[in-house]
């Protein structure tokens, strides 16, 4: 299988993580930028990704992949959620740790990372793939791999933060790894079916 998909993103970390997963399916990732990447303000990541995928499709006029993800902290009512990137740029890891200061036990530090991969095949046909990683907000920032809030998120089943993992290890646990694996499986299957139906 040799397939190439166009991935609309300006984040090289996301490209590397997508490649690490999709390579196994024989899928190559081509990062592209569009003139206007429109992300709407919405509490649902899925709606944001769906809208962005359709807008990108209109500009590229070919099937395109869009990804959106966010960190949802239970005791903060889902904050920073869909606005994780803006929150990272402003108050950062330090700000989120400050907000969590009064939550002293692991149970109260529960959080999840969610990733939505939206693949627009036309202006009206958008396939959605969702990946979630449940875990906890650490008490200190640890590690220097990855990006964003990776240094303060410990997925369930390990004691490391995402930023203490290699890309391969992170992909096993991560929301992004799961969403891209679901996408890869679907894409391979749909290509195989197309082949069979010829």
Q: Are 96 and 137 in contact (CB under 8 A)?
A: yes
Is residue 43 annotated as part of the catalytic site, yes or no? no
Interface positions with a copy of itself (CB under 8 A): 38-41, 43, 48, 76-83, 86-87, 89-91, 95, 98-99, 101-102
Catalytic residue among 2, 68, 105, 140: 68
Q: Report the C-alpha gap between 27 and 113 in whole angstroms.
A: 24
- Three-class SS state of 64: strand
Q: How far is the CB of 83 from a copy of itself (least distance, A)?
A: 5
Q: Between 93 and 187, whose beta carbon lies closer to a copy of itself?
A: 93
Q: Between 61 and 102, whose beta carbon lies closer to a copy of itself?
A: 102
Handedness of CA 48, 50, 52, 55 (dihedral sign): negative
Q: How far is the CB of 86 from a copy of itself (least distance, A)?
A: 6
Q: How far is the CB of 149 from a copy of itself (least distance, A)?
A: 15
Strand pairing of 126-137 and 153-155? antiparallel
Q: How far is the CB of 194 from a copy of itself (least distance, A)?
A: 34
Q: Between 32 and 76, whose beta carbon lies closer to a copy of itself?
A: 76
Q: Between 79 and 139, whose beta carbon lies closer to a copy of itself?
A: 79
Contacts of 194 (CB under 8 A, 6+ apart): none
How many Cβ atoms sit within 10 Å of the Cβ of residue 166? 11
Contacts of 82 (CB under 8 A, 6+ apart): 41, 42, 43, 44, 45, 48, 68, 70
Q: Report the C-alpha gap between 41 and 62 in whole angstroms.
A: 25
The residues assigned a catalytic role are: 68
């Amino acid at each position: 299988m040799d397939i190439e998909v166009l991935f609309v993103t300006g984040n090289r970390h996301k490209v590397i993580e997508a490649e690490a997963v999709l390579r196994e399916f024989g899928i190559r990732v081509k990062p592209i930028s569009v003139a206007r990447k429109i992300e709407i303000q919405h509490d649902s990541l899925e709606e944001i990704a769906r809208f962005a995928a359709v807008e990108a499709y209109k500009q590229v006029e070919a099937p395109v992949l869009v990804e959106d993800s966010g960190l949802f902290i239970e005791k903060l009512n889902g904050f920073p959620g869909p606005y994780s990137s803006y929150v990272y740029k402003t108050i950062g890891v330090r700000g989120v740790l400050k907000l969590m200061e009064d939550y002293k036990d692991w149970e109260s530090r529960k959080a999840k990372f969610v990733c939505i991969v939206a693949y627009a095949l036309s202006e009206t046909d958008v396939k959605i793939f969702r990946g979630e990683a449940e875990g906890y907000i650490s008490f200190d920032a640890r590690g220097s791999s990855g990006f964003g809030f990776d240094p303060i998120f410990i997925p369930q089943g390990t004691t490391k933060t995402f930023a203490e993992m290699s890309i391969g290890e992170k992909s096993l646990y991560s929301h992004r790894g799961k969403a891209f694996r679901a996408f890869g499986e679907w894409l391979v299957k749909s290509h195989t079916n197309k082949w069979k139906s010829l």
